[in-house]
Amino acid sequence: ARLVENFPDVNVCVLEAGENVTHEPDLVIPGFAFKNLGQPRLDWGFMSTPQEYAKGRSIYIPRGKALGGTSMINLMTMGRAHKHEYDAFAALGSPGWDWNGLVDYFRASETFAPSEEEKSKLNVAFNKTAHGTSGPIQRTLPQWISDVQGPFTQGMQSLGVAWNNDATSGNNVGLCTSYHSIDSHGARSSSASAYYEPNEHKANLTVVTGARATRILFDESKDSSGNLVASGVEYLKDGELHTASAQLEVLLCAGTIQTPQILELSGIGEKKILEACGVALKVELPGVGNNLQDHFWSPFVTETDTKYESVEIMSDPARAAREWKIYEESKKGMLSGTCSTLYAFLPKNNFMDSVPKTGHSSMNPSLHAVQKEWLAADDIPFLEVALFPGCLPVPGLKPEPGKSYCSVFLALTHSFSSGSIHITSSDPLAAPAIDYRLLDNEVDLDILVHAIKFARKLGTTTSLSSVFTQEIVPGPSVQTDEEIKEFIRSSIDTVFHPIGTAAMLPREKGGVVNSSLKVYGTSNLRVVDASIIPIHLSAHVQATVYAIAEKAAAIIAHDHQL
Ligand SMILES: Cc1cc2nc3c(=O)[nH]c(=O)nc-3n(C[C@H](O)[C@H](O)[C@H](O)COP(=O)(O)OP(=O)(O)OC[C@H]3O[C@@H](n4cnc5c(N)ncnc54)[C@H](O)[C@@H]3O)c2cc1C
């Protein structure tokens, strides 16, 4: 979109496998967000391979299939990690990608202009230099707050977790209100509504929906430095193969799962993987598809005093109708958001009394070393603790009518397991094999055991002990560390934030793209999506992906002297 609007002489063609669903009510109305998951029309619905250390379970991995990608089906939280985590991008070999090199792009991507009344109600204040006031994505504060939020805040504070009134200015440590990609009219602000729509009628933009890219095409001859030159993209539409030619560049933005798949189908990847699938090797790049990282969560669910309403009340038709009326008339109420409005990011000293040993790790050694340092640090969060005023989805658990629930969402922000995504055949329509190697490092279990214990302690604080009336999950029968570990192995799940499979790292460290996001061994093929993030962040990912895309547009303009 930035190239289209800033450079009328540059023609941009977007190939998107999904359709344009930008204004469908279930996608626009924030309170309906959960309805879209698992619908094949909107969600690729990947499954991982059976995870050995998680009871052999296959993990469901939703991914948006639509113009706007996963920003059409995500849960709209807009967070940023600690500035030191972005600084690691640069320290790992990508100059210009530290916090200072990214903050202008975070700003460029968003409009964030809460009123004085909202700020004072939610106890927030903002460092203006870190926030945008005229960018495409609309970021707002929650319009509905659960009654449990007050006692939960006090409970967290009594355990030493400080309130952070400006958690997206480079220091995300502590408890804060969540921010969302929702506009002031209560509608989802997605990359389709915010970036595509203002440019949709521009003469230099062509968008082909229902177009599934099958491989990148290259010129027969290489450039003078021996690099492949991308000449276009082959794609399937309505059962027929087509070609889109590229004169300047090909930008691969298929996300963490399909970007490595398309690279491998195009002959870029590890020799033995491509050979096994009968794909001719064009660039030997063993990093492709490796370094898969994600955030993983375990549930803590309690029954609450019924004077505290939980989201389950929406199953009462009369109450749902009332909420609908509130939303229609004022864009407030439970449908104006996802009901998750408060979270905390905790470094080790907030929830662990000692630093667990990291042991052997499947991680890239350079990244492992960074994470080990972070685990011992006082400022890098390893745990997200979020309040959800309702029963989180736990297999086998069905909320009972008439009861109220509250959950504490406990997510590991820096897992020490590192997985992979690879093709298993040359068929572009076959899903790749996705192996998280979930919990292959005991340290992740140790951290999550501390997390469950923290949630239990939180439930016994003076402010929450009369709110949380009975622990349902893990439940009273789960007491010893080994029992808690068993519970985690049975219940751990993804937070839907996969990254890293086309990592921006030096080639010798397993990198796939350089700091200009160019794929090694090519002259004009770049990757611009979450797959380039080399090491995971203590933040939900979308705000960072928008900043990456903004920076990519600036790099491309600079490289071509546009
Ligand atoms: C259920 C869910 C909830 C989430 N909630 C949050 C949240 O609250 N906050 C947050 O920050 N993040 C959240 N995320 C994560 C966040 O939305 C993603 O990290 C982010 O959107 C990734 O952007 P991307 O550009 O890398 O990939 P995507 O947005 O996934 O874009 C990839 C695009 O490529 C298309 N594509 C793939 N293969 C092909 C092909 N072969 N041919 C043509 N097109 C193709 C896809 O259809 C898609 O449109 C959530 C994710 C999910 C699934």
Q: What is the pLDDT of residues 32-91, one digit of tens each?
A: 999 999 999 999 999 999 999 999 999 999 999 999 999 999 999 999 999 999 999 999
Mutate to test the pocket of ligand 1, among 36, 496, 501 (most ligand atoms within 8 A of CB): 496
Residue 179 to residue 72: CA distance in whole angstroms? 17
The CA distances from residue 3 to 22, 44, 107, 550, 554, in Å, are 21, 28, 18, 10, 9
Tell me the torsion sign for CA atoms 537, 542, 547, 551.
positive
CA of 64 to the centre of ligand 1 (A): 5
Q: What percentage of the chain carries pLDDT values higher than 70? A: 100
What count of Cα atoms within 13 Å lies in the side-chain half-sphere of residue 21? Answer: 25
Query: Can you tell me which atom of ligand 1 is nearest the CA of 76?
Result: 8
Atom of ligand 1 nearest to the CA of 544: 11
Q: Specify the pLDDT at position 210.
A: 98
167-196 pLDDT tens trace: 999 999 999 999 999 999 999 999 999 999
Per-residue pLDDT tens digits for 467-518? 999 999 999 999 999 999 999 999 999 999 999 999 999 999 999 999 999 9
Rounded to whole angstroms, the Cα distance separating 83 from 172 reads 8
For residue 362, what pLDDT is reported?
86
Atom of ligand 1 nearest to the CA of 542: 11
* pLDDT for residue 106: 98
Distance 70 CA to ligand 1 centre (A): 3
CB neighbours of residue 166 within 10 Å: 15
Percentage of the residues of the chain whose pLDDT score is greater than 90: 97
**Mean pLDDT score across all residues of the chain:** 97
Distance CA 61, CA 126 (A): 34
Stretches where the chain sits below pLDDT 50 are: none
pLDDT per position as a tens digit, 321-345: 999 999 999 999 999 999 999 999 9
Rounded CA-CA distance 296/47 in Å is 15
Cβ distance 101 to 554 under 8 Å?
A: no
Catalytic site positions: 497
3-state secondary structure of 389: coil
Distance 57 CA to ligand 1 centre (A): 23
Ligand 1 test: best mutation among 139, 541, 551, most atoms within 8 Å of CB? 541
Q: From ligand 1's centre to the CA of 158, what distance in Å?
A: 37
CA angle 182, 184, 190 (to 5 degrees): 30
CA of 542 to the centre of ligand 1 (A): 8
pLDDT of residue 396: 87
Question: 254 C-alpha to center of ligand 1: Å?
Answer: 8
pLDDT the model gives residue 461: 98
Nearest CA to ligand 1 atom 49: 69
Cβ contact 112:131 at 8 Å: yes
* Residues lining ligand 1, Cβ inside 6 A: 15-18, 37, 62-66, 69-71, 73-77, 212-213, 253-256, 258, 262, 496-497, 529-530, 540-542, 545
Question: Could you identify the atom of ligand 1 that is nearest to the CA of residue 214?
Answer: 41
The sign one gets for the Cα dihedral 482, 484, 485, 487 is positive
Q: Select from 22, 501, 542, 551 the residue to mutate for testing ligand 1; criterion: most ligand atoms less than 8 Å from CB.
A: 542
Which atom of ligand 1 is closest in space to residue 65's alpha carbon? 47
